[in-house]
Amino acid sequence: MRENERIYDDITFRPRGAVEVPACDLSATVLGTKLALPFVLAPVGSTRLFYPRGEALAARAAAAAGTAYSLSTLSGSTADDVRRASSGALWYQLYLIGGRAVAEAALARAAAARFSVLLVTVDTPVSGQRERDLRNGTAQLTTGRPLTMLPYLGQFLARPAWLASFLRDGGLMKFANVVIDERPMAYADVATALAASVVSWKDLAWIRKAWPGKLVVKGVLIAEDGRRAVDEGADGIVVSNHGGRQLDSAPATLRVLPEIVNAVGNKTEVLLDGGIRRGGDIVKALCLGARAVLVGRAYAYGVGAGGERGVARAIEILRTELDRTMKLLGCASVAELDRSYVNVPASWRPD
């Protein structure tokens, strides 16, 4: 996780001097949809725990900014809830939790709600060792047993305003898009369910048949998997290490981006997530071949701090920094960004 952020320091800019750039075109066409910004709000699970109706509010803020929002399978709002809140582009992220029939039903609901892109996450055959969750007592707090929860309750009691809003929103959320035996999956069941929901390459065939829109493979870190995704008919791939939360010592996503872009060429669209905290980070990823990027933590902090207004503020910070960086580079459009605008270490260049 630390390396995801630090790696951006290895890339420096090559600005053009004495170039007049009165306005920058920040738009990008991603998977057939023109967006006002070259970044999309990534799927972040359990957003409803950060703020009441967090997913719906984030989607509405994304639509207002002219970009897309991605809804996680592991969210507290249904696809219909999010569509009612947003008139913009919506993507759906898929885990095979509950098995094929449960997943197909979720895909049908997302398609009916006019979600246009499906992100199939392939890097979670088991949940990573989330050490913060262990320290914070996440497993104990989701049992509902007072004595088990007691050592960790101080975290909530110290934040009465959040606790009040949490309780008004229904308390501990269920996973509304994972409907098993006509009931949403309980929060406490997620770790076991993930371990039983491995996605394999052969699954892409039936997923493709069940999904009418664009299909993107999320979680690619090596060139071989990029080429395999192309062979399986993916419309796009996301270079991602799950925010650094899955496999320790996996490479930073920006580090392997050139290798994967070189491997797939123009056969599919390449996106990236992981470590993006500033507008300049977005520019660097675009220079190295990403069509667009996905941002997660940046807007998740915003929704936790202020709901829809917090997300809108996070998006505006990134947009302003992106625009300023472009003007300082002497580049009038994100479509013009390429390697000529950055210095790349020699060891990064693909063979």
Residue 20 burial (CB count, 10 A): 7
Tell whether the model's pLDDT for residue 296 goes beyond 80.
yes
Enter the pTM of the model: 0.96
Average pLDDT, the chain: 95
Residue 288 burial (CB count, 10 A): 22
| E strand or H helix that includes residue 19 | none
Least confident of 93-107, 193-207, 269-283: 193-207
Band of pLDDT at residue 123, cut at 50, 70 and 90: very high
Question: What was the pLDDT predicted at 218?
Answer: 98
Selection from 283, 275, 276, 279 nearest residue 335 by Cα: 283
Selection from 255, 251, 257 nearest residue 238 by Cα: 257
Q: How far apart are CA 102 and CA 93, in angstroms?
A: 14
DSSP string, 252-297: PHHHHHHHHHHHHTTSSEEEEESS--SHHHHHHHHHTT-SEEEE-H
Which residues participate in catalysis according to the annotation? 242
> How long is the chain?
351
Give per-residue pLDDT as tens, 52-106.
999 999 999 999 999 999 999 999 999 999 999 999 999 999 999 999 999 999 9
For the residues 239-243, what does the mean pLDDT come to? 96
Q: How far apart are CA 182 and CA 155, in angstroms?
A: 33
The CATH number of residue 60's host domain is 3.20.20.70
Residue with tokens 């246009």: 116
Q: 12-13 and 342-343 as β-strands: parallel, antiparallel, unpaired?
A: antiparallel
Domain that holds residue 297: 2-348
First to last CA, the chain: 27
Q: How far apart are CA 291 and CA 37, in angstroms?
A: 11
**Tokens representing residue 69 in the block:** 């929002």
Q: How many domains does the chain have?
A: 1
| Helices (H), ranges, 117-159 | 131-136, 138-141, 146-149, 154-157
